Amino acid sequence: MKKLFNKKLAVLVSVLCLCTVLFSVAVGVADISFVQAIKILLNKMLFLDLNMDDVKSSSVAIIWLIRFPRALLAFFVGGSLAICGVSYQSIFKNPMADPYILGVSSGAALGATVGIVSKLEFSLFGLNAISILAFVGATGSLFLVYNISKVGKKVPVNTLLLSGIAIGQFLSAAISLMMVFANDLHRIIFWTMGSFNARSWNQLMMVVPYALIGFAVIFSTQREMDIMLLGEDTAAQLGVDTEKLKRKILITTALVTAAAVSVTGIIGFVGLIIPHIVRIFTGPKHIYLIPYSFVAGGIFMILCDTLARSMINQEIPVGIITALFGGPFFVYLLRQRKTGGL
C-alpha cells in the first residue's frame, strides 16, 4: 500500500512539475499563447519541424532565451535551497534551520555589495563580477565559521550555530556600513531581496552542476541522516562517523547555496518551509524527503517567480513573494514548537 502511495505521489509530483514549468513559460506581459509556447519548446528541444507561421521571431526569443531558462533556474535554485534546508534541519536537529543559518547569505551579500560599490567590470564563464564575488563571499564565510567553531578535531553543533550567527551579524554590519557610502543603494537592496530578472542560460549552467552534484551527495547520506535524528551520541554508537558526515554536509550545502545565491541574490524561507510541508506527505525518512523536497522547492520557486513578474507592471523581487508565504508559516512553526508540536 505504501509503495503504491509513493508511486502515485511520484507521478503526481512529476506531472505538477511539468505543468508548472509550462505555465510559467506561457505567462507574461508579451502576448504569447500557451499553444505557441508549447510549439516553440517542442521545436527547440525535440527539433520537430512544426509549422511556426503563426509564431513571431520575437516570441521565440522571449520563450527560449528569457522565460524557459528563467523557469529552469528558478526550479534548480528552489530545489537546491530546499534540500540544503532538509540537511541542516537534520544535522542540527533544529526545525528552524535554513540554508542561510551559517552566514552564507551574509557572505554572498557582502561580496555582491563590494562588486556593486566598487563598480568592478569583469566576467568569467559568462558570469559577471557581482555573481563571482558573491560566490567567493559565501564560501569564504562558511570557511571562517567552520574554522572558528572547531574544538580540536570536532565541530560542536551549538558552537557552529552561534559562530554562524555572530559572523552573519558582523558581515551584515559591514554591508550596512558600505551602503551608507554607496551611490547605487537601490541596486544593493534589490539584490539582497533576490530576483531572477535578466538571468539566462549562463546563470543556469552555473547553478545546475552544483545542484545535481549536491543532490547526489546529500541523497547518498540519507541513511546516516535518518540515524542522526536519534541524536549525535546515539548515531556515533550505531557506527556513523558524525564529524565526517557534518563536514560532508556542510561543505556540500555551502557550495550549493553559494552557487544559488550568487546568481539570484538572497531568497528566504524556501529552505525553511518546504521541508516541513513535504514531511507532512512523506514522513521523516530522507529517502523520500530529499527528492520530494527538491522538486517541491523547485515548483514553489517557479510559482513565486511567476507571481513576481506578472502581478503588476513592475517586477517585484521574488524574495518578497517567498517572504509573504514564509513569514506566516514561520510563525506557525514557532507556535507548534511552543506547544510541543515539533
Answer for the pair 293, 80: CB distance below 8 angstroms, yes or no.
no
Q: What is the pLDDT of residue 1?
A: 45
Mark whether 104 and 150 lie in a shared domain.
Answer: yes
Mark whether 134 and 204 lie in a shared domain.
Answer: yes
> What confidence tens digit (pLDDT) does each residue in 211-242 have?
999 999 999 999 999 999 888 889 989 999 98
Q: How many domains does the chain have?
A: 2
Mark whether 104 and 133 lie in a shared domain.
Answer: yes
> What confidence tens digit (pLDDT) does each residue in 252-283 have?
998 899 889 888 989 989 999 999 999 988 88
CATH number at residue 160: 1.10.3470.10
Helix 129-149 / helix 157-180 crossing angle, nearest 10 deg: 140
318: amino acid identity, one letter:
V
Q: What is the pLDDT of residue 120?
A: 80
The DSSP call for residue 250 is: H
Closest by CA to 99, choosing from 113, 111, 87, is 87
Q: Which residue in this structure is represented by grid cell 502515485?
A: 8
Q: Which residue in this structure is represented by grid cell 536537529?
A: 93
> What confidence tens digit (pLDDT) does each residue in 2-59 have?
555 577 888 888 899 999 999 999 988 887 888 888 888 888 887 777 777 778 888 8
Mark whether 172 and 56 lie in a shared domain.
Answer: no
Span 298-307, average pLDDT: 96
Closest by CA to 240, choosing from 253, 227, 222, is 227
- Boundaries of domain holding 126: 74-334
CA torsion angle 13 225 194 27 (round to 10):
0
Task: Give dist(CA 277, CA 259) in Å, integer.
Answer: 24
Task: Give dist(CA 108, CA 319) in Å, integer.
Answer: 15
Helix (H) or strand (E) holding 177, with range, is helix 157-180
Mark whether 50 and 99 lie in a shared domain.
Answer: no
SS3 99: coil
Q: How many CB atoms within 10 Å of residue 263?
A: 21
Of 13, 34, 67, at which residue does a domain stop? 67
Mark whether 298 and 184 lie in a shared domain.
Answer: yes
SS3 55: coil
Mark whether 118 and 198 lie in a shared domain.
Answer: yes
> What confidence tens digit (pLDDT) does each residue in 137-178 have?
988 998 899 889 888 777 787 888 889 889 989 998 998 888
Mark whether 214 and 119 lie in a shared domain.
Answer: yes
97: amino acid identity, one letter:
A
